Every structure is written in C-alpha cells, then in structure tokens.
Amino acid sequence: MDTLLVGNTGYLTKETIEIAFSSDNVVVCDADCRAHKDGNVSFFAQDIMSDKFRRLFDTFSFERVIFFSYSLNKDSNETGEIEQLRRVCSLSQKNKISQFVYLVSDEALVDVNNSDSVIFDSSENICRYYAENYNIDIKMVYSPYLMNPLYKDDYWCRILKKIEDKERVEINFLEDEIAFFLKASDLMEFFYHLFDVWNDEIDTESNEIERIYLKSGAKTTYGEIREAIKEFYPNAEILLSKSGIKGQIEHGENIAREKYGWFARHDACWDFDEYIFNFQNAFRVKPSITQRLIKRFKVGGRFLMILELIGGTALVEVYNYLSSGSVQFSMIDVRLLFVILMSLVYGARIGVLTAFIEITSLVLAYKAEGTNAILLFYDPGNWISFILLLVAAAICGYIKQKKEEDISFVNEENEALKSENAFVSQLYHEAMDYKNRYKADLIGSRDGFGRIFDVVKRLSTTVPEEIFAESIPVMEDVLDNKSIAIYTINDPNARFARLNVSSEKISRQLKKSINLEDFASVLETLKENDIWFNNSVREGFPTYVAGIKSEGHLSVLIMIYNVEYLQISTYYSNLIRILGGLMENFIIKAWEYQRAVAEKTFIEGTSITKTEYFISQFEIQKEMMVNKRTSFRLIRFFIKDKTLEEIDEMFQSKIRNNDVLGLGNDGNIYLLAAQVDDNSESIVLKRFRDMGLKCDVVENVA
C-alpha cells in the first residue's frame, strides 16, 4: 500500500515511520526536507501548492494520506495551512483516496474563542465537506505538541538555540504546569493500531468524521524542564509566565485506548537531559582554531567598503601631490581611475559617491592653483572633468549591476532546472522501481488476464448456489461497486423474480421479490441480448441490468445500483457484459449438471434432496449469511405419519422455487427458506403451522 505523509513532517524519521508503515511504500513530501530515498521511504522536497506535488499523485497510487498540521509545533509561525489542506483533500478526492487522516494539535480543543479557533474550525469544516460530498473516509486526530531534538524548528530546539545565543527566553507556562508533549515514536505506534483495524471498524453507510483524542500521559512540569536546562546552561535566563489567553482543553471519549488499544508509552519530557544532549550533537558544531580566528578578525563588507573609500581617496590625493611636477604621471587621471574601480566593484551608488568626492578634490585642486569659484563654474570647459567623472561612475555602475542581475537570473534558472531535473529523476527512479516490482503482477490488475483467470477459477463449480455466492465478491471487485443484486426467475411464466444474493451494503434496502410486470421494459431490452441502462433515471430502479438466459428464457437478472458518474461509459457496460457472459456460461452448465445427476441429488420420485446434498446447500447458505450477502432460516418439520411422496406433494405449492427441501439424519424434513430474516420469520412459520404442521427454527441439520 502506498502512503503519503504531508504537511509538518519534520518530526518524522525513517525509523519512526517504519513503526507504522514497515511494509508500505511511503512518500514524505515537505518543502523543507532533503530529497532522497531511504529503503521504502521516499522524501520529496516539494511545496504542496506546486504543480510537482500534483504529479506525485499521478506517479504513485496512494491509498492513504496523512496531513500533519503545523499547529503540532508549538508557537509555529507557519501560515497557509487551510489552503494546503484543501488542495490535499481535493487531490485525494480526484485520486479516490480511501483513507485520510488530519492530524492537528489538541490546541484546537481549547474552550476559548479567538482567531486560532476560527482557523481550526475552518480546517474541520473542509474535512467535513469532503467527507460528506465525496465519500472520503476521514478521521481527525487531536494530538499534544510533538517534540524531536533532531528537528531544528522544534519548539524546544528553538528555545535551546536562543539560550546558546545568550538570549533571554520566556516560556508562557508556570512552574507547576505539566508539559504535554508527545514523542513521534508514540504517534507512529498509534497509526499502526489505527490502520490495523481501519477496515474492520469502517461504517460504509456513514460519512461522519471520526474524532480521536490522543493524550500524552505526561507528568513532567515546566519547572523541572527549566532545571534540566540549567544543568547544561547555568547562565541561561529563562522566565516562566502564565499566558493570559490559554483556556482548558476539552477532550472527548478516549477511543484511542478503548477502540484502538493505544496509550502513550513515554513521558516525552521526562528525559529532557537526553533531549539536550541529542540537540547539541545534532546542531552544535565546535569551530576549529582557524575558523575562530577568521570569525574574530573578520571585517564586514560595508565596513571594508568605507575603509577602501577613505583609503583610496587619501591615496589619490597623495599620488596627485607627489606627481604634480612629473610630466609623465600627469598624463594619468588617477581620480577617474579610482571612480571607475569603485563603480565596478561596488556598483553605481558607491561609484557616484566616489565621483562627488573626487569632484570635490578637483575643485580644491583648482582653487589651490588660483582659479576662483566664479571662473571655475562659469567656464563650461571646466565642467567636462566633472561630467566625465559622473558619467564614468554611472556607466561602470550600470555594467556592474547588469552583470550581477544576469548572473543572478542565470543562477535562479539553473537552480530551477536542477530542482526540476532532480524531481523528474526521482520520479523516474520511483517509476522504474514500480515497474520492476509489479511487472510480475501486471496480469493481476483489474483489467488483466490474471483477473479474468481469477474470475473463471472462482466461478468454476457445478453447484449453482456456490456460483451465486462467489459472483457477488467477484463483481464487486471488478466493477468497483458495492451495490449489486442477483434475482432469479425459475419459471418462464412466473410473475415474480426472487432475490438470491446481494451486496451487504444494500441487502436491507432490497425487496425479497420484484413484480416482473413493473420491469417489462427492462425485460424487453434484455431479450435482445443487450444491457439495460436507466437513462431516464427511474426511481427505485438499478442503473444497469444484465440478464442470463436458460433455454431461451431469462433466468437470472444481475442488477447494479449506485453507479458513480465516471462509471457511466461503454467501457463499464462492456465489463458488465463480460462478467454476465462468464457467469451465464458457468450457471447454465451447473444447472445442466444438476439435472444430469438428479438421481444423486433427490430422493427418487420426489423433489426432496438427500441428506448429504442438503447439508452442503446449508453450508453454502450459512457462509453467504455470514458474509451478509443473503439471509435464510433452517426450519425443521416433525412429520412421522406420512410417506416422503406425500410430504413432497404437500410442499409442492407451499414453498418457493429457490427454497430447498431436504431429509435429515434424524428422519425429519428440513427446509432452507431463502431470504427469510427476523421480520419475515414469524410469517413463514405461521403459514406452515396453519397447515397443521409442527415446525420450529433450528441452527443445524441433525
């Protein structure tokens, strides 16, 4: 089974995942994780809102999805969870996910109305909408906050990081308040219990969301946690204070223990010193001597730029002063060169600033040579130097910034291509694994030859009742439908068709017999060897009806109810024709065989079956009743003063064609009364007792 874990999955590791899903193919999707594969667990670094996330559903055949809420991380600042939850539910609905779990913090149960409670209510409403409208089996699990020393964004990891950075830490709890946290291993053990009994506990007729409350069973207080932290960080400044908005958490019935047999095995904060030890091993890296020296004497980029600007300006002035009498060096404009260098290194802003500094230097140089301000600014020829300095700064700065933007754009494109290539490569390898793993099972798919072989094998019997018993699970599997019924017509002149077997989901809704006059149009279509389709949406009628003929007359009606919209297609009709044809082939042969061996089945001269055959029919009916595909009653008659021929004649007109009359080892006559339940049992017994017969309902054949 393929399982998708999505949302706030940072608390999970391969080891904890395998506690619940050791035999599953697990996909973990989190934008912050590192993409890799470890055994049967694949990690994808993708955002839920991205198109790549949707492609995961196209690649994998997920059967269950677990969404981890960001509220499981105490004081998390993550946003957008409602949109992400809606997208995951939408993709789950489109891909027919059968099991969906929304794991949220029990903070949602706090009896205080605030903005957080509105968000929690909205999330629950989304789950309820998809459960009610799209028949997704959704369970909401309320859990204490999770904790893991290997997850850098964990609440306690953030606290310890602040302490190591010499920051003051405030925790909004009092010393004697208990720290209700849950370890990921305990959570995964709960999921193991949950999915182990999921199918056994499911109510197919209800779309209600099951709410499950997990309790940590913690006893460690925040004061004890502070003392544990103090042992490692004696100088840590930790303030415990009561939050003014926190209310009481209202848990419901403890079905996690009563129904699923789960309880938290660990007090997550009891061994907090071990938590700190693991945190330090994971995130504290002791720098080398070289790294410490570099850090100590490292000069910031802005400070270095200021030093270069001041030092360069001073160097230019010294150079101009020393080279003032040299003809050779006067040919080089050092001011312009300095402006160009600063523009190319630091961009247009610093370049223009350098240009203004050098313009000021040039103005002072003119003044030192005796040029007054009026002559300097009123002679346009003197402006050329100033303009060239500014133009050089602007052009060189533009070139610098354009180059940086081009490099940044290329880098972004390169990273995007790398990410896409890595994602596609990962999907390719997963697809190849699937190909190699399931190549041998290809013929076992729903439309493969292996499935047809399985159908033939299960229907290949000479006992008609066994064929009917096996036909329901076979058709439910192939047609992906849990609302199928089979009626039999034992006489071409019969007015009624009797219910033989049906799916469990609709067994109580069906009539035990139907008037064939009401189905006249259906029978006309079936006589033409075609499938009848309820295109006029007639109320009370099935969506599809297929027929089986025996000696030119309709003998069996296969009715398919509650068909999904996507199953209304030629492809689906052809599947029904194939199954009907296979069943017709076997049921006709079984009837012919039963007629051929009638002397071994019935007591000579009667329609009363022999004991061995009757007991085999009883076992078939009992198995079908256990599987909730039919109902019957075993009735015992005490008739000692009549011959078997007289008894047979007495019952000829009193029992239905699909009832079976047989002789028991005790000499009494037994009747398998088909489709008789608690409501009709008394009516059937009264009919026989009115005939003067002594009878009762028994559990077994003597």
Per-residue pLDDT tens over the stretch 284-321? 756 556 656 655 555 556 777 888 888 888 888 887 77
Residue 682's pLDDT band, with cuts at 50, 70 and 90, is: confident
Kindly state whether residues 132 and 79 are assigned to the same domain. yes
CA distance 319 to 322: 5
Asked whether residue 327 carries a pLDDT value surpassing 70, the answer given is: no
Query: Worst-scoring range by mean pLDDT, 99-103, 412-416, 440-444?
Result: 440-444
In whole angstroms, how far apart are CA 67 and each of 6, 73, 262?
5, 14, 20
Mind listing the pLDDT tens digit for each residue in 603-628? 887 888 888 888 888 888 888 888 77
Least confident of 294-298, 360-364, 392-396: 294-298
Query: What beta strand segments (E) does 293-439 contain?
Result: none
468 and 376, same structural domain?
no
User: How large a percentage of the chain has pLDDT more than 70?
Assistant: 86
Residues 592 and 604 in one domain: no
pLDDT confidence of 157, banded at 50, 70, 90?
very high
CA-nearest of 24, 28, 26 to 48 is 28
CA distance 247 to 241: 15
Sequence-ordered list of residues with C-beta below 8 angstroms from that of 262, at least 6 positions apart, any chain:
189, 190, 193, 194, 214, 256
Same domain, 556 and 462: yes
In this structure, are residues 502 and 485 in contact, taking their beta carbons and an 8 Å threshold? yes
Residue % of the chain over a pLDDT of 90: 23
Residue 306 covered by a domain: yes
CB 182 within 8 A of CB 145: yes
Tell me what pLDDT residue 262 has. 93
What's the whole-number mean pLDDT along residues 489-509?
84
Strands 62-68 and 2-7: parallel
Residue spans of alpha helices (H) in 262-300: 272-283, 289-297
- 686 forms beta bridges with none
79 and 189 share a domain? yes
Amino acid at 394: A
- What pLDDT score was predicted for residue 442? 47
- 585-602 burial: b if 16+ Cβ within 10 Å, else e: ebbbebbeebeeeeeebb
- 126 & 190 share domain: yes
Q: Which comes out higher in pLDDT, residue 246 or 701? A: 701
Q: Residue 418 falls within a domain, yes or no?
A: no
**Distance between CA atoms of residues 467 and 582, nearest Å:** 11
Dihedral angle over CA of 24, 29, 34, 37, nearest 10: 20
Residue 122 belongs to some domain of the structure:
yes
Please give the average per-residue pLDDT across 629-634, as a whole number.
84
Same domain, 458 and 584: yes
Phi, psi for 309 (deg, rounded to 5): -65, -45
Provide the 10 A C-beta neighbour count for residue 282.
14
Which structure tokens are listed for 358? 């050098």
Q: What is the CATH number of the domain that holds 61?
A: 3.40.50.720
Q: Quick one: angle between helices 272-283 and 222-232, nearest 10?
A: 50
User: 259 is written with which tokens?
Assistant: 């129904």
How confident is the model over 116-138, as a mean pLDDT?
A: 90
- Domain residues for the domain of 637 are 600-698
**Residue 253 above 80 pLDDT?**
yes
Query: pLDDT: is 680 or 213 the higher one?
Result: 213
- Whether the pLDDT of residue 659 is over 80: the answer is yes
User: What is 112-129 written as a DSSP string?
Assistant: --SHHHHHHHHHHHHHHH
- Asked if residue 205 has pLDDT above 70, the reply is no
Residue 550 sits at φ, ψ, to 5 deg, of -135, 120
Nearest-angstrom CA–CA distance, 497 and 152? 69
- The residue behind tokens 């729903």 is 446
| 289: in domain | no
Domain-embedded: residue 134: yes
Strands (E), 197-282: 210-213, 238-240
Domain boundary at 533, 567, 596, which? 596
**Final residue before a domain boundary, out of 596, 627, 643:** 596
The CA distance from 578 to 145, in Å, is 54
Q: pLDDT higher for 91 or 469?
A: 91
Average pLDDT over residues 410-434: 72
- How sure is the predictor about 188, in pLDDT bands with cuts at 50, 70 and 90? very high
pLDDT at 471: 81
Is 71 in the same domain as 208?
yes
Distance (Å, rounded) from C-alpha 557 to C-alpha 486? 6
| Residue, of 295 and 536, whose pLDDT is higher | 536
Residues 374 and 465 placed together within one structural domain of the fold: no
Check whether 195 has a pLDDT greater than 80.
yes
Query: How many domains does the chain fold into?
Result: 4
CATH code of the domain containing 657? 3.30.70.270
Half-sphere exposure (CA, 13 Å, Cβ side) for 431? 11
Distance CA 193, CA 187 (A): 10
User: In this structure, are residues 670 and 614 in contact, taking their beta carbons and an 8 Å threshold?
Assistant: yes
pLDDT value of position 571: 80
pLDDT surpasses 60 at 464 = yes
**Does residue 413 belong to any structural domain of this protein?**
no
Half-sphere CA count of 294, side-chain side, radius 13 A: 5
C-alpha–C-alpha distance, residues 159 and 402, integer Å: 43
Residues 106 and 33 in one domain: yes
Residue 200 pLDDT exceeds 60: no
Domain co-membership, 544 together with 482: yes
- Is residue 251 within 8 Å of 106, Cβ to Cβ? yes
In-domain check, residue 617: yes
User: What residue has token string 């994998």?
Assistant: 60
Confidence label for 206 from pLDDT (cuts 50, 70 and 90):
low
**CATH code of residue 561:** 3.30.450.40
**Mean model confidence pLDDT for the chain:** 83
Residue 55 in domain: yes
Judge if 604 and 591 occupy the same domain. no
User: Of 407, 441, 466, which residue sits at a domain end?
Assistant: 407
| Residue 507 pLDDT exceeds 60 | yes
